[in-house]
Structure 1
Amino acid sequence: MLVVDELPFAFVEREGFIEFCQTINPLFSVPSRTTATRDCYALFIEQRNQLKYSFKSLNSRVSLTTDTWTSSQNLSYMCLPAHFIDDDWNLHKRIINFCPVAGHSGQLIGRAVEKCLNEWGLKNIMIVTVDNARSNDLAVDYLRRRLNIWESSLLGVNICI
């Protein structure tokens, strides 16, 4: 519920929630926010590891999209979703990175994408799709140079704007 409804972990310690749980099942012991945080993080690690394993055994290529924006607090963020088709021909979309970036320069964006690909062990990239911002031209050029020195599976990579 905390993850699906994007609730704060402290929600489990609110009076109304505790009363609701006691009404539904008086034997249920409501976890603390520390326990809820630990359990959600453990679930995240488990899901991340399963996805890494899926990427290693994937027979198809992965397509990426990326976007950066600046928040109302003047902080820059980048999101990197991966799109892929599994062996049963099911389309999947997973956000593999959501991180702050130091700015919108092409080299910073390119390095952030490259770092993420290295962390996930992704080498079978088919395409990277970005919007038409000038900094993305530079990010694409950076990635093209870096991806060309990776393993031979990347020699056919197309990076589109």
Structure 2
Amino acid sequence: MDSTTGVNAYHFDQDESRKELAYMIILHKYPLSIVDHIGFRRYSTSLQPLFKMVCRNTIKKEIMRIYDHEREKSMHEIEKNRSRIAITTDMWTSQHKRRGFMVAMAYFIDDFWRSQSQVMRFIYVSSPHTKEVLSDVLLQTLLEWNIDRKLSTMTVDNCNGLNVIGSCIEKVCESVGFWTGLTKRRQRFTDMAQ
């Protein structure tokens, strides 16, 4: 309490409130237009009359700042990781706009032996969704995140992705068949592995 006025001393931070508004929109998947809703504006003013409500463009910029910050944290986490990284991709098309999107996820074990996962990329993929287009998007993601040399496995959700690496899969299958075909070869492989 301020001894001169008898009023509770309270520090209001416009920037911090704007950031919390952005987190609320992200967390609850609210539309950016919520900042234009009269009821929401009145409610916000009743809570804190000093808060100046922002426009859609301003809140969008704040959300992008949060995204950039979180992306940097994720990239740093993956960069400092010393283990191999497994990648999964999922491709789908939105129902109302018929647009294709891909998400690429990274999975790894951290230094404390905890399983970790990170969304690396959520991206619009132009049509047609051929194996070349999908593999190019995935390769760009691996290079952008600098994990092309840390990759252990990759799991894709459709046959297009498998077509790209089909010849590699055949070679692996042939190799497994060769080394496990005879007991003598299997023993030799085990000896060599040890």
TM-score class, shorter-chain normalisation, is 0.7 to 0.9
* 1:50 partner letter: K
User: In the alignment, which of 137, 141, 151 is matched to residue 162 of structure 2?
Assistant: 137
Q: Could you say which structure has the larger radius of gyration?
A: 2
Calculate percent identity across the aligned residue pairs.
Answer: 25
Aligned match of 1:39: 62
Q: Equivalents in 1 of 2:128, 2:165: separation in Å?
A: 16
Q: How far off its partner does 1:74 sit?
A: 2.7
Matched residue SS, 1:67: strand
Gaps of 5+ in 1: 145-161
Q: Please tell me whether residue 84 in structure 1 is matched to residue 113 in structure 2.
A: no
With CA pairs under 8 Å and 6+ residues apart, which has the higher RCO, 1 or 2? 1
What's the TM-score, normalizing by structure 1?
0.78
Specify which of 53, 61, 64 is matched with residue 84 of structure 2.
61
- Supply the distance in 2 between the matched residues of 1:4 and 1:83 (Cα, whole angstroms): 23
Cα 1:75/1:32, change in 2 over 3 Å: closer
Matches within 5 A, 1:92-131: 92-101=116-125, 102-122=127-147, 123-131=149-157
Query: SS at the partner of 2:122?
Result: strand
For residues 75 and 51 of structure 2, the distance between their equivalents in structure 1, rounded to whole angstroms, comes to: 35
Cα distance in 2 between the residues matched to 1:90 and 1:31: 40
What amino acid sits opposite 1:129 in the alignment? T
Structure 1, 8-17 or 100-109: larger mean CA deviation:
100-109
- Partner amino acid, structure 2, of 1:107: E
For 1:104, the aligned partner's letter is: H
SS of 1:4 mapped into structure 2: helix
Instruction: Say which structure is richer in helix.
Output: 2
Q: Partners of 2:92 and 2:77 in 1: how far apart?
A: 29
Any idea what SS the aligned residue of 1:66 has? strand
- What is the distance in 2 between the residues matched to 1:104 and 1:62? 25
| Structure 1 pair 48–85 and aligned structure 2 pair: CA distance change class (3 A) | same
Structure 2, unaligned runs of 5 or more: 1-23, 169-194
Counterpart residue number, 2:34: 11
TM-score (norm 2): 0.66
Q: How many residues align?
A: 143
Q: CA offsets per residue over residues 34-92 of structure 1, 9 Å max, x none?
A: 22111111111111112222222111111111121222233222111111222222322
Question: Are the aligned partners of 1:65 and 1:128 in contact in 2 as well (CA < 8 Å)?
Answer: yes
- Secondary structure of 1:64's match? strand
1:6 shift after superposition: 1.2
